[in-house]
Structure 1
Amino acid sequence: MQKKSNVHFNRHLLVATLVIGSFCTVLNQTLLTTAYPDLMKDFSVSTATVQWLTTGFLLVNGIMIPISAYFMNNISTKKLYMAAMFTFLLGTIICFMAPTFNLLLTGRVVQAMGVGISLPLLQTIMLTIYPEDERGKALGITGIVVGLAPAVGPTLSGWIIDQYSWRYLFAILIPIVIIVLIMSMVFMKDVLPLNSSKMDWPSPILSTLGFGGLLYGFSIVGNRGWGNPVVITSLVLGVILVYVFGKRQLALKNPFLQIKVFESRIFLRTAILSGVVNMAMVGAEMVLPLYIQDVRHLSPFHSGLVLLPGALLLGIMMPITGSLFDKFGAKYLAIIGMSLLTVGTLALCTLTETTAINFIIVVYAIRMLGVSMVMMPVTTAGMNSLPDSLLSHGTAVNNTVRQLFSSIGTAILVSFLTQTTLRHMPAKSEMTTSPTEYKTKALQATLDGYNTAFIVASVFCVIGLIMAFFLKGNKPKQDKGLHV
């Protein structure tokens, strides 16, 4: 039975507590990218090994997201948020003090467990404490966290690495998270209704193995290739276990994760569109810094600076486009946003070794403007189609879809980039017979790889643009026929 909450709270202070805490947690997704060379040197590990600090973080984060819906329905809001932030703090302290690489990786895994709960919790609370006609603005505020924090990460970490040790990446977070925990004691309230249910233990096991298998398979396909036995096994098992998980949820009276949210056609369309946007955004965000560093030979810090104006524009625009959604709905915003994202991505399909950096800055900013007009308005439209009793499940499903699509998009782009580069690379014998010509051809092969990756990203954008035209009306009539 669902218990409705009627507690009194200061909304502004509660939101401030949520946003500051969640910004710290989401920042960690990209905070270590520029620290890899230092970490490889300090711990004497390979590139493939050090990558697990990010891959493992995202993997555990993705596994925890589906579990978050159960926690939100069975644990009081205040206790759950404080537990998530304390878990993140514990992981951050472990990372800061880690004397070995294995302990550093352990800290990252503990951090990810906290993030996998805190982010869906942030979105569900925001949807609950704001009335429906203000939810666009509410999710626009959360968009600052979701969009700005990962984008700022590389620039911030590049500056810290240049000035101090990599340990300061974690040291700066510890006092902030402690302050957030103190704020949580005072300002966080039990604003989410509880719908207590007994744990169906096979469900979290199937969810963990299924979604974990999919995320792991897509995370390693860039290095190992689509034909690798481990990749194939991981993806096939992941698909099978997710299917079994889904069938079990439909059969349960009180499911662990309510996938009936997909019965809302609005939610289904917006979840897929949001996932496609993530494919185009995250994959390109990963490829562009590689081009800036490998082809243009700029430092990681300067690479981050190139992307920073776009990241700041995204952060500024998220609340604005959220408010525009409250007035005009999602359809036209999504069409305009996907058009900008498509144009911006197409402009990156012809990169050369002399492409003006200012051109890249402007084009990337156009892409981020497009993302700001699509991501949160589309998500809000989908969540508004659900009854309040399904908001926690809808948030978990939405975030899981986005995480999966991001992994798929990244895997596909890296695969095209790698395979195109290898296919166009000149024969190694030319290194001795014609070294100058070999260098020229090798550079062109590398550029062909990057341009092909952006062509594929453009295809994702076009698919998203077509889907935007199928969103209902200007301000959709909400479909709330779903109940638990």
Structure 2
Amino acid sequence: MTNNSSSYRWWVMLVVIIGGFMSILDTSIVNIAMPKMMAVFGVGTDKAQWILTVYMLTMGVLQPTTGYLCDVWGAKRMYIASMVIFTIGSALCGLAWSNDSMIGFRIIQAVGGGVIIPVGMSIIYTIFPPEERNLAMGVWGISAMVAPAIGPTLSGYFVEYLDWRLIFTINVPVGIVGTILAAFILRESPVRKQAKFDMVGFLTSALGLFCLLLALSEVSDEGWTSIYILSLLFVSFVSLLFFVIYELMHEDPLLDLTLFKNPTFSASTLVTFIGTVCLYGGIFLVPLFMENLRNYSAMQNGILLFPAAAMAGIMMPISGKIADRVGARPVVIVGLILLGLGNYGLRFLDLDTSYNYILWFLIIRSIGLGLFMMPVTVAGMNTVPFHKIARASAMNNAVRQVSGSFGIAILTTILQNRQVYHLNHMADYINAASLGTQQIAGSLQNMFALHGSTVLTAKTQALAVVSQLVQRQAYIFSFDDTFLVTALTCFLALIPALMLKEKKRQPDAAPLHIAE
């Protein structure tokens, strides 16, 4: 099996999918087990949430370094090392005896998990020729779509019927198999031993991304105007500003920001950022709505989301084949329109919305996601000089990490603000003095009185029920408004999508003949 034969390339794809699936799965599988871990470790939400937060922070800080590490140590060594570290971290998480030990082991796990995705992406770009890259990225993207949907279902099953520690230890045998396959199948890429590590760039990017991601993860609890959040954002802004200035002057930067001089790469990155924010309209808002207002369990949410995730996975290789024939731009535009229409349909959710209605609009969203997600990435990466592929992959994944956190923070803020708005608006018409409220409260008061409550108690209970109904309706309206904002954001992404251009690669961008 030669290094550039078709069969070899698809064996490499299998290896990369194993690692990518594990890493992405672990970002969603832990959430459902949080209440169980809080009970086992005897801690509150404020301490337990760091089990999630440190994983995200560690991944965000490390991803910019993966381009340099691949250049210096080689993609095969980096991929195997990341798989080994992730597997060891998963095993240790399964053995954790306290909240603090779990946090420490999650950091180890994230060191591996944060490197797997960008290194895997750079390997795919390295071995697949340009004419096969859309299809290859579409196949690789299946794991990115299916894993987040399987995570809650699998976690709910483990927690409810087996052992919650399986959410971590299930990675161990898969990680061992993936590592062995990587050792035997992957070939090492050329290395640049003379490359120097950009320590200033790393420290400033690490500090900036750490503060930014921490602020975005904490803003729903602290508020945008709190001193804590404002301080984090200020430190992040200053650090990243210094990072940008320094990287533009450095001869061998950690992240090559001159890539943004390429309009197609810039447009691709912007569409990716906006599209990732829109992505969370489904995987964040819908489960939240169904759990809080329709009393869905984690497993029920997972079952609801799985067909849509499967559809996105099916569409990804199809979109790759279409993009290879007609170009990325029309495929991306159609995908964004469908994503926007899917989100717009979800703005009409209420307590009576049928299961099939929700499912079909989730599927429409997923068709859009499957169409645009990978072709827009390939369109940008195809314009990058071959020797900068690893750096561009690192930048692409860092953008995804930030945009994901940014999306959750913004959507949560919109949700909270619109709930307050609707509560205040409804209070003008539904209050103790309004005739309608008095009639409803009177009927409820009589009902409670018939069940043995005193007059005063029955009146209090009736008003409490009316208040709960108003709050619930305001909450429903806030979800609908947030879905509308998400839909409009999808349509906004059409502007940079129109700037995408197909560009033939330079001669130095030919597929790499990887050394033994």
TM-score between both structures, scaled by the size of structure 1 = 0.93
Find the aligned partners of 2:344 and 2:376 in 1 and give their Cα distance.
23
Which amino acid in structure 1 is aligned with residue 503 of structure 2? K
What's the counterpart of residue 95 of structure 1?
93
Instruction: Specify which of 25, 29, 32 is matched with residue 31 of structure 1.
Output: 29
Contact 1:122–1:142 (CA<8 Å) still a contact in 2? no
Gaps of 5+ in 2: 433-459, 510-516
Find the aligned partners of 2:373 and 2:241 in 1 and give their Cα distance.
27
Find the aligned partners of 2:159 and 2:201 in 1 and give their Cα distance.
42
Find the aligned partners of 2:3 and 2:363 in 1 and give their Cα distance.
42
Q: Which moved more, 1:373-382 or 1:309-318?
A: 309-318
Gaps of 5+ in 1: 1-5
Find the aligned partners of 2:63 and 2:94 in 1 and give their Cα distance.
25
Find the aligned partners of 1:59 and 1:151 in 2 and give their Cα distance.
22
What's the counterpart of residue 449 of structure 1?
478
Find the aligned partners of 2:297 and 2:254 in 1 and give their Cα distance.
46
What's the counterpart of residue 149 of structure 2?
151
Matches within 5 A, 1:4-15: 10-15=8-13
- In the alignment, is residue 353 of structure 1 matched against residue 330 of structure 2? no
- In the alignment, is residue 238 of structure 1 matched against residue 239 of structure 2? no
Matches within 5 A, 1:62-461: 62-191=60-189, 193-194=191-192, 196-425=194-423, 434-461=463-490
Which amino acid in structure 2 is aligned with residue 242 of structure 1? L
Counting aligned pairs with the same residue, the percent is: 30
What's the counterpart of residue 477 of structure 1?
503
Contact 1:87–1:113 (CA<8 Å) still a contact in 2? yes
Select the structure of larger CA radius of gyration.
2
Contact 1:386–1:482 (CA<8 Å) still a contact in 2? no
Q: Which moved more, 1:410-419 or 1:184-193?
A: 184-193
Find the aligned partners of 2:423 and 2:507 in 1 and give their Cα distance.
56
Which amino acid in structure 1 is aligned with residue 198 of structure 2? D
Contact 1:73–1:196 (CA<8 Å) still a contact in 2? no
1:452 aligned counterpart, secondary structure: helix
2:352 aligned counterpart, secondary structure: coil
Give the CA deviation at 1:19. 1.1
Q: Structure 1 residues 440, 199: CA separation in 2 closer, same or farther (over 3 Å shift)?
A: same
* Superimposed CA distance per residue, residues 194-224 of structure 1 (whole angstroms, 9 cap, x where no aligned partner): 4641123222111110111111111111121
Find the aligned partners of 1:262 and 1:480 in 2 and give their Cα distance.
17
Find the aligned partners of 2:355 and 2:209 in 1 and give their Cα distance.
39
Which amino acid in structure 2 is aligned with residue 439 of structure 1? Q
What's the counterpart of residue 3 of structure 1?
none
1:254 aligned counterpart, secondary structure: coil
Find the aligned partners of 2:285 and 2:47 in 1 and give their Cα distance.
20
Contact 1:7–1:191 (CA<8 Å) still a contact in 2? no
1:25 aligned counterpart, secondary structure: helix
* Superimposed CA distance per residue, residues 374-424 of structure 1 (whole angstroms, 9 cap, x where no aligned partner): 110000000001110111111111111122122112111101111222343
2:347 aligned counterpart, secondary structure: helix
Find the aligned partners of 1:277 and 1:481 in 2 and give their Cα distance.
31
Which amino acid in structure 1 is aligned with residue 294 of structure 2? R
Find the aligned partners of 2:46 and 2:474 in 1 and give their Cα distance.
23
Find the aligned partners of 1:148 and 1:286 in 2 and give their Cα distance.
15
Contact 2:264–2:499 (CA<8 Å) still a contact in 1? no
Q: Structure 1 residues 109, 385: CA separation in 2 closer, same or farther (over 3 Å shift)?
A: same
What's the counterpart of residue 467 of structure 1?
496
Q: Which moved more, 1:116-125 or 1:177-186?
A: 177-186
Q: Structure 1 residues 233, 204: CA separation in 2 closer, same or farther (over 3 Å shift)?
A: same
1:324 aligned counterpart, secondary structure: helix
Find the aligned partners of 2:134 and 2:246 in 1 and give their Cα distance.
33
1:243 aligned counterpart, secondary structure: helix
TM-score between both structures, scaled by the size of structure 2 = 0.88
2:271 aligned counterpart, secondary structure: helix
